[in-house]
Structure 1
């Protein structure tokens, strides 16, 4: 199953060093039966995109934690790693949530999706507002929307080492 793993820039650096990505809490997102049921229309490609967007929002949550811990040097860019894995469904969480057992080896990564530099301001603002948005704050939800207006750029896994090596 194609899964979308929320990540951050430091997680990509670790992937390059170790050849493995360790999803926080084993959580990822995919086109699950519950996600398919939640939408009244849409083909598989559109629903996969919805799963990737859920992972991108989860990446904002990870960035919020990193910034809260003083990791100000972390680029304010959402990161989503797409991989092909066996998973366990998580009906106790969001419709598209799945659990991954263990690390994601580099060999099963299909692509990596990252915000461009132009999105950094909006992403930093959204990371600071994600908790409030989850609690229904409409102003915070607006900031999340500003970040989500930026499309994630697609990268081949072979390009990740060059990306994280940039300043």
Structure 2
């Protein structure tokens, strides 16, 4: 199953040095029955885009708790064997739990904010909890960050991405 794992520069650096995302279990996002039902869309690319955006929003929460992370939303797309993935639409649409560490070899690509998004992402990360609780002003700040498209990187480009992430 293709999954989208929220990450930070800290998490990405650990993936680069150890060759795995972990420890398990990991929370990720995917095209689940709940996501399909909510969006009533058969276009798999559109649904994967939604799942990746949910992971990018979750990356804001990770940035907020990691003072050493650069203010860049990062999403790792990986193909995880189905038996290792548990659909958790009961938590939220598109949520999955991965029961194993994810080796770099399963990772298909990395998606990350460009430098021009950093200031907006930093503000959004500080306000993500308030946005989740319904604060309208905070929601607008998070929406501003979500207005930036994530750039695509091959897994071979992780070290270059980290070197330029600041």
For residues 105 and 5 of structure 1, what CA distance do their matches in structure 2 show?
Answer: 12
Aligned counterpart, 1:84: 79
Q: Structure 2 length normalisation: TM-score?
A: 0.93
CA distance in 1, matches of 2:113, 2:42: 25
Query: Unpaired segments of 5 or more residues in structure 2?
Result: none
State yes or no: 1:74 paired with 2:72. no
> Structure 1 residues 42 and 132 mapped into 2: Cα distance closer, same or farther (>3 Å)?
farther
Unaligned runs of 5+ in 1: none
Is the contact between residue 3 and residue 28 of structure 1 (CA under 8 Å) also seen in structure 2?
Answer: yes
- Give the one of 123, 136, 141 matched to 1:143: 141
CA distance 1:23–1:2, change in 2 (3 Å)? farther
CA distance in 1, matches of 2:151, 2:5: 15
Residues 131 and 24 of structure 1: CA distance in aligned 2, closer, same or farther (over 3 Å): farther
Structure 2 residue matching 1:93: 3-state secondary structure: coil
- Cα RMSD of the aligned pairs, angstroms, is 1.4
- Large movers: runs of 4+ above 2 Å: none
* Aligned-pair CA distance for 1:27: 0.2
Write the distance in 2 (CA, Å) between the matches of 1:129 and 1:25. Answer: 26
What does the per-residue CA deviation read over 1:40-98, in whole Å, with 9 as the maximum and x for residues that have no partner?
A: 335110010000000000000001111xxxx2x42100000000013111122111000
When normalised by structure 1's length, the TM-score is 0.92
